[in-house]
A and B are shown apart, each in its own frame.
Chain A
Amino acid sequence: MDELKIQLAWNRLLAIVEEQAQVLMRTAFSTVVREAGDLSAGVFNTAGDMLAQAVTGTPGHVNSMADAVGKFLAVFPLEQMEPGDVFVTNDPWDGTGHLNDFTVVTPVYQDDRCVGLFASTSHIADVGGRGFGPDANDVYEEGIRIPISKLFAAGEPNVVLLDLLKANVRDPVVAEGDLYSLAACNDAGAVALLEMLEDLGLPNLEEVGDIILSRSKDAMLACIAELSDGEYAYTMHTDGYDEPVTLNAVLKVAGDGISVDFDGTSPASSKGINVPLAYTQAYATFGVRCVVGNDVPNNAGSLGVVNVTAPEGCLLNAKHPRAVSARHSIGQMLPDVVLGCLHQVIPDAVPAEGASCIWNPVFMNGVSREGENVNVDDFVINPIFNGGTGARPGKDGLSTTAFPSGVRTTSTEVNEATSPLVVWRKEYTPGSGGSGAYRGGLGQTIEISHRYGAEFIVSKMFDRIDHPARGRDGAETGAPGAVYVDNEAGEKRYLPGKGRDVVPPGYRLVMQTPGGGGNGESSGRSEVLNEVDKTAGLV
């Protein structure tokens, strides 16, 4: 195949999936999708191999999405699909790990021939059940589950399916709107793909796809070949739902790729922090990919050389019908575990442990609507707060920055415009970064109360309260997180990191996100950096 054509086609496919993701991001309703980029978009060949994926806010979809199209094709083989068909699922074990994520797949036809498929995933705010949170006892309590089905059949919407969905969620207009957004972004991708095939005179994606996959695979293998072969183990403990969990990994570097196995990890939880394997694979793979071959685009070729396994039934390969809603609170910890293994191979490229799990509380009105002299309205908001990242070799960690998640926060003013809450403080917590030659990123302190003194509810999925981020090479751990309520009378009560609590009338809620771990011994920190921190009041 003409070298120039390969170059152009690859560039173009990468641009097409970015455009597909943009359309989704701009039209989505769910806060975490539009503000935080909790979505993904990709293009696949007719065998179901992912050829290109948009770089968006969430590694959680990295290869959970890459595998999803194959699962759709297993239920609806290509020869049974026809133009105008669109398929959907939110099954945690066929998609990206919890019911809120809907994956939509659209085959693309040139005349009557399928030339490829587009898939996209986004987070729909409410799927019924108990609502987004870790408190369910099984997946049935978490909301409606739609197996792989037709959303559109030959261009006609599946009205029965949509009616069922709308009857089972709290905000049916939004849910339907988000499904249409997913279908629309795949359509935008399809139009662009057909135009590209015509412009370049390509009959389909097969030949160029094979070249993209083999070159990506070779590039990853070349990066892996630079690492010393061997087995590297790392263990990390995190808070869990109500008891600590162990995350244990052995990472093996060999000529044919990297494998990660999570044998020795805690068994599945009785609550909604379980992780389906696809989501485990996504975050573990991201942990490898962010430091090994990080300029190689995500596709079936580059992802295929990283193989992630976990024993069946453990926390990281939880089976139906385990509860999985807050699977991110464990999944987002996995890059730290993988990086802990890789630190033994490439110590100069790996950051220390960080806060890692985003703090994304759901705030809503309490049962009582009684405020000071007023009756207060209903509300629900789901803001995102971050802790510090681990110190990098040669650089401090990033303060209050999402990692591994790529989400953005929402503005305090907008949160106050859409709820009766007042954020009295949202500021760095000095001293919260683990000290070292390079310091961990700082966490933040957030103080919130109800403007009219009424009670309100907080649903928490927080971690690193009992197990702070550890430093590397003799550095200190970052400050642990904390969450408590207090009032002007000086009464103060700590809350657990997971689950739902009522902030009583007249109390304020204080959250302190964790700091990142340091890197290298503190004695090795330069005087200049110490001075800078002191002047800024960060230590």
Chain B
Amino acid sequence: MRLSIDIGGTFTDVVLEHDGALTTTKVLTTYDDPASGVMMGVDHVLAQTGAAARDIMLVLHGTTLATNALIERRGAMTGLLTTAGHRDVLEMAFENRFEQYDVNIDRPVPLVPRHLRLGVDERVAVDGTVLRAMSDDEVTGVVGGMVESGVTALAVGFLHSYANPDHERRVREIVETSFPDLNVSLSSDVCPEIREYERLSTTVANAYVKPLMATYLTSLQEQLNDRGIDCQVLLMTSGGGLTTLQTASEYPIRLVESGPAGGAMLAADIARRHGCEEVLSFDMGGTTAKICLIDDGQPLHSRAFEVDRSYRFKKGSGLPVRIPVIEMVEIGAGGGSLAHVDGMKRLHVGPESAGSEPGPACYGRGGEGAAVTDADVVLGKLIAESFAGGQMMLDVEASETAINAAVSGPLQLNLDESAHAIAEIVEENMASAARSHASEWGKLIADRVMIAFGGAAPLHAADLAERLKINEIIVPAGAGVGSALGFLLSPVSFEVVRSYYSKLEALDFGHLEDVFTDMRDEASRVMHQANVTEFTEERQAYMRYVGQGYEVAVTVPDDTDENALKEGFERAYTELYGRIIPNMEIEILSWTLALKGPVPDSLGSDEDVVTDISAGTQTYFHEGKRYEASIVPRDQVETGGHEGPALIVERQTTTVVPPGWTCRCLKDGSLKLTRGDVDG
């Protein structure tokens, strides 16, 4: 038996996998003591199945707690020890404005205020040579002052420490001796990569959440132990791999975005299971939509992420962190996204969201704005009586009033057209985001298979697919707890990065082998901790033409040489940008090495898809016309299929099958939507 737990912003999802079947539950997230919410969910699934706690062999866990602590600035009082003369790196950032035409923007507030960012006299050059030695006494003095000010977490980030970490390591020794209670994060451990702002930002964010996460993880393990669950606990990372408790406590910054990563891993498993080579996963919830491209069962990876994009989810308005992440595009488009018309009669939807309180107007909790969900109600995509399994009766009139006020009046459209326009704009926003994401990565979207999950995705999947020239959609079963399912499908893995700068023609392959050996040692320690004995190794070089600003990730084959790297770079570059630049020198900035355990087998079916909704019909507005759509409970979808227009209803969501689409049920309980006469 395996247990999977995902703590999200609103709900904590718990999934128990037993005898090839799945039992799931959702409980409210308990912010004050998140572990207690987890334990409620655990008790619930155990009671439901009658299983014994001691039979659980593995616990998998992902949590949004680190992300929330960063967004809400609830982390530890953190100090930054850095190279004298550079204490403002963290605040100067890129010295730019992320919004050109707004003179009132504020730059992201650093996690460490200036009076706690202090320099010591030391200097390492780009090649690792020590230009100025560091004095132990000065370190003790400066750190001592910070501790007196109340600092409990210390980030250490010296210039070029990725090339020579000696000074940072010496600081750790001093702290261990003189200030044993101080929690230390070294930039040469957390993010040994060139570019001081990103490295320090990552290190500081790690230090900031470390004490809190350590406390939480310890408490969780204790409470699990109290229940008799004393098996291993593995944590989900943003890179889509699982890691050990020890590693997670050391590098908690790697836990941000574990929820979305879980969703992507679920989609990747479905892609493999159904033999889909090129997939677009589409996860749409209440506030945001996330789109991820998955080729050959592997989601795109990168090393750049931004936490807390506080200005309309805009790039540059957050704190950059350099960690392994599953690459996806996230935009402010969800069921709660609000519509408004501006002075140029342009209709905008999102990123402002009605959230869950007060929620869309149809929730009847005082929300007056016109949300995407209100448009879905007016268009007849949602069934007022059976929303959330009938727990909440939707107020259709409130939706109508809200849409009339926000859109119909200003744009002189009738109610149906207005609701349709809201849906079209939010779908267009998502389509634009998907297109630009794909073009950024040199990928094509047309003819991919879409895998849709999250509460709002199945409502908009078919319309979005048409925009993107996609003809097949899979809506997996149990999509409401998609992230927790994804954890059960993820391998144990660990990625290590090192900056070793060289022009390609001058690369010392002997030294490179030493660098890789060192990286391999570090990553295999995590594998051993997790009792994983079989694993594969993936190495990548981050390369570019001399003078460029963006690096391209290139796979480094075994027994690599200059030609192999050059060919790999040119292949990757052509895929991204269409052509190479002959005779241009190539340089390499960083290297990564990842060890990866076996990917678990696909899961059994969810016992919980049974619905208590009755079949019938409802009128549904689609592209200028009202249709009579049949209502089909999800557990009654036939393998033979249903022609659209149809609404496939389940507790967590509704799958809209527009005219021209067919829906049928697959063996694993997934729904498959096919456009036109194509029979997939």
- Decide if A8 touches B424 in the complex (CB within 8 Å): yes
Among candidates A10, A199, A386, A413, residue contacting B95 with C-beta atoms closer than 8 Å: A386
In the docked arrangement, what's the CA distance between A15 and B329, Å? Answer: 15
Please indicate the chain B residues that have their CB under 8 angstroms from the CB of A425 in the complex.
Answer: 85-86
> With an 8 A cutoff between CB atoms, is B346 at the interface?
yes
Chain B interface secondary structure, helix, strand, loop or mixed? loop
Is A180 in contact with B95, judged by CB distance below 8 angstroms?
A: no
Known: A219-B343, A401-B97. A535 touches B115 (CB 8 A): yes
Report the stretch among B100-108, B230-238, B242-250, B380-388 that lies at the interface: B100-108
CA A424 – CA B122 in complex, angstroms? 10
User: Which of the listed residues A28, A290, A412 has the most CB atoms from chain B within 10 Å of its own CB?
Assistant: A412
Nearest B residue (CB) for A447: B85
Q: Is A525 an interface residue (CB 8 A)?
A: no
Binds A, one of B42-50, B190-198, B213-221: B190-198
Determine if B577 is an interface residue (Cβ-Cβ < 8 Å).
yes
User: Could you say which of A392, A398, A417 contacts B107, with CB atoms under 8 Å apart?
Assistant: A398
User: A412 CA to B253 CA in the complex, in Å?
Assistant: 24
User: Per-residue 0/1 for A173-214: is the Cβ within 8 Å of any B Cβ (1 yes, 0 no)?
Assistant: 110010010001000100010000001000000000000000
| Min CB–CB distance B167 → chain A (angstroms) | 15
30 pairs of residues in contact across A and B, judged by CB atoms under 8 Å: A7-B346, A7-B347, A11-B429, A12-B428, A15-B432, A26-B440, A26-B577, A28-B548, A29-B545, A31-B547, A35-B549, A57-B96, A173-B581, A180-B579, A216-B344, A219-B343, A290-B100, A384-B95, A412-B86, A412-B159, A412-B196, A414-B195, A416-B126, A426-B88, A427-B86, A428-B92, A444-B88, A451-B125, A536-B115, A537-B114
A29 CB contact (under 8 Å) in B88, B343, B435, B548: B548
- Whether A4 touches B97, Cβ cut-off 8 Å, given contacts A296-B344, A416-B160, A444-B92, is no
Q: A426 → chain B, closest Cβ, in Å?
A: 6
Q: With A and B bound together, what is the CA distance between A184 and B195 in angstroms?
A: 29
13 other A-B residue contacts (CB within 8 Å) besides A31-B547, A223-B343: A3-B412, A4-B417, A11-B432, A15-B432, A19-B435, A34-B548, A192-B435, A392-B104, A398-B97, A409-B95, A417-B501, A444-B88, A538-B114
**Contact of B510 with A by CB under 8 A:** no
- Contact digits for A347-385, partner B, Cβ 8 Å, 1 yes 0 no: 001010000000000000000000000000000000011
Complex: how many Å from CA A503 to CA B287? 55
CB distance from A35 to the nearest CB of B (A): 5
Whole-angstrom distance between the alpha carbons of A192 and B421 in the complex? 22
Count of interface residues, chain B, beta-carbon cutoff 8 Å: 66
Nearest CB of B to A318, in Å: 26
- Asked whether any CB of chain B lies closer than 8 Å to the CB of A487, the reply is no
Report if A403 contacts B (CB, 8 A): yes
In the complex, the answer to whether A413 meets B195 with C-beta atoms within 8 Å is yes
Does the CB pair B97–A22 fall under 8 Å?
A: no
Q: Contacts A8-B428, A219-B344 known; A55 to B97 CB distance under 8 Å?
A: no
Q: Mark B11-48, 1 if CB is under 8 A from A, else 0.
A: 00000000000000000000000000000000000000
Chain A residues within an 8 Å CB radius of B467? 199
A-contacting residues, B270-327, CB 8 Å: none
**A427 x B103 contact (CB < 8 A):** no
Contact B424 A26 (CB under 8 A): no
Closest to A174 in B: B547
Roughly how many angstroms separate A303 CA and B89 CA in the complex, as a whole number?
Answer: 37
- The answer to whether B88 and A428 touch across the interface, beta carbons within 8 angstroms, is yes
Expressed in whole angstroms, the minimum distance between the Cβ of B211 and any Cβ of chain A is: 23
CB atoms of B436 and A22 under 8 A apart: yes
CB distance A19 to B548 under 8 Å? no
In the complex, A294 Cα to B428 Cα: how many Å? 23
Looking at the assembled complex, report how far the CB atom of B89 sits from the nearest CB atom of chain A, in whole angstroms. 8
Q: Per a CB cutoff under 8 Å, which of B107, B115, B550 touches A401? A: B107
Q: Is A113 an interface residue (CB 8 A)?
A: no
Per the bound structure, the CA–CA distance linking A215 and B550 in Å amounts to 38
Check if B439 is an interface residue, CB within 8 A of chain A.
Answer: yes
Q: Is the CB of A173 within 8 A of B100?
A: no
**Interchain CB contact under 8 A, A422 and B131:** yes
Whether A406 sits at the interface, judged by CB under 8 Å, is yes
**Is A245 an interface residue, CB under 8 A from the partner?**
no
**A75: CB under 8 A from chain B?**
no
Residues of A within 8 A of B344 (CB): 215-216, 218-219, 296
Cα of A416 to Cα of B550 in the assembled complex, Å = 17
- Contact digits for A214-228, partner B, Cβ 8 Å, 1 yes 0 no: 011011001100000
Determine which of B89, B103, B411 lies in contact with A351 in the assembled complex, contact meaning CB atoms within 8 Å.
Answer: B103
- Binary interface profile of A, 440-464, with partner B (CB < 8 Å = 1, else 0)? 0000100100010000000000000
Contacts of B106 in A (CB 8 A): 395, 398
B640: Cβ under 8 A from any A Cβ: no
A354 to chain B, nearest CB (A): 10
Interchain CB contact under 8 A, B86 and A426 = yes
Q: Are A23 and B439 in contact (CB under 8 A)?
A: yes
Give every chain B residue within 8 A of A30 (Cβ-Cβ): 547
Q: How far is the CA of A411 from the CA of B435 in the complex (A)?
A: 30
Contact A413–B421 (Cβ < 8 Å): no
B-contact bits for A7-46, CB 8 A (1 contact / 0 none)? 1101110010011001100111111001100000000000
Decide if A498 is an interface residue (CB 8 Å cutoff). no
The yes or no answer to A233 lying at the interface (CB within 8 A) is no
Q: Which residue of A lies closest to B583 (CB)?
A: A173
Query: Of B123, B549, B577, which is in contact with the most chain A CB atoms at under 10 Å from its CB?
Result: B549
In the complex, residue of chain A having the shortest beta-carbon distance to the beta carbon of B113: A536
- CB of A424 within 8 A of CB of B85, answer yes
B425 contacts A by Cβ under 8 Å: yes
Q: Which of B86, B96, B440 lies in contact with A22, CB distance below 8 A? A: B440
Contact A395 B86 (CB under 8 A): no
Interface string of B143-175 (1 = CB under 8 A from A): 000000000000000011000000000000000
Name the A residues within 8 Å of B95 (CB-CB). Answer: 384-386, 400-402, 407-409
Residues of A within 8 A of B411 (CB): 3
Q: Which chain B residues numbered 333 to 375 have a C-beta less than 8 Å away from chain A?
A: 342-347
- A184 contacts B96, CB within 8 Å? no
Chain A residue contacts of B123, Cβ below 8 A: 422, 424
C-alpha gap A422/B160 in the complex (Å) = 12
Bound together, the chains give a CA A204 to CA B114 distance in angstroms of 55
Check A4/B421 contact, CB under 8 A, given A11-B429, A535-B115: yes
Least CB distance from B514 to A in Å reads 20
Residue among A222, A392, A411 with most chain B CB within 10 A: A411
B634 interface residue (CB < 8 Å to A): no
Give Cα A351–Cα B97 distance, bound, in whole angstroms. 15
Q: Are B114 and A536 in contact (CB under 8 A)?
A: yes
Interface presence of B94 (CB below 8 A)? yes
Q: Is A399 an interface residue (CB 8 A)?
A: yes
A residues in contact with B53, CB < 8 Å: none
Q: Does A327 sit at the interface, judged by CB under 8 A?
A: no
Query: Is A291 in contact with chain B by the CB < 8 A criterion?
Result: yes
Within the assembled complex, what's the spacing in Å between the Cα atoms of A406 and B98? Answer: 8
Q: How far is the CB of A383 from chain B (nearest CB, A)?
A: 11
B91 is an interface residue with CB less than 8 A from chain A: yes
**A289: Cβ under 8 A from any B Cβ:** yes
Of all chain A residues, the one with the shortest Cβ separation from B85 is A425
Instruction: Evaluate contact between B103 and A177: CB separation under 8 angstroms.
Output: no
Question: Is A312's beta carbon under 8 Å from chain B?
Answer: no
Q: Of B97, B125, B577, B578, which one neighbours A402 at CB under 8 angstroms? A: B97
A-B pairs with lowest CB-CB distance, top 8? A425-B85, A34-B549, A536-B114, A15-B432, A408-B94, A294-B101, A409-B95, A219-B344
Contact of B642 with A by CB under 8 A? no
Contacts of B548 in A (CB 8 A): 28-29, 34
Query: Complex: how many Å from CA A215 to CA B421?
Result: 19
Asked if B498 CB lies within 8 Å of chain A CBs, one says: no
Question: Does chain B have a CB within 8 A of A295?
Answer: yes
Asked whether A59 is an interface residue with its Cβ less than 8 Å from the other chain, the reply is yes
- Cα A414 to Cα B85 in complex, Å, equals 17
Give chain B nearest CB distance to A417 CB in angstroms. 5
Does residue B420 face the partner (Cβ distance < 8 Å to A)?
yes
Chain B residues, Cβ within 8 Å of A451: 125, 131
Given contacts A216-B344, A401-B95, A416-B125, contact A406 B577 (CB under 8 A): no
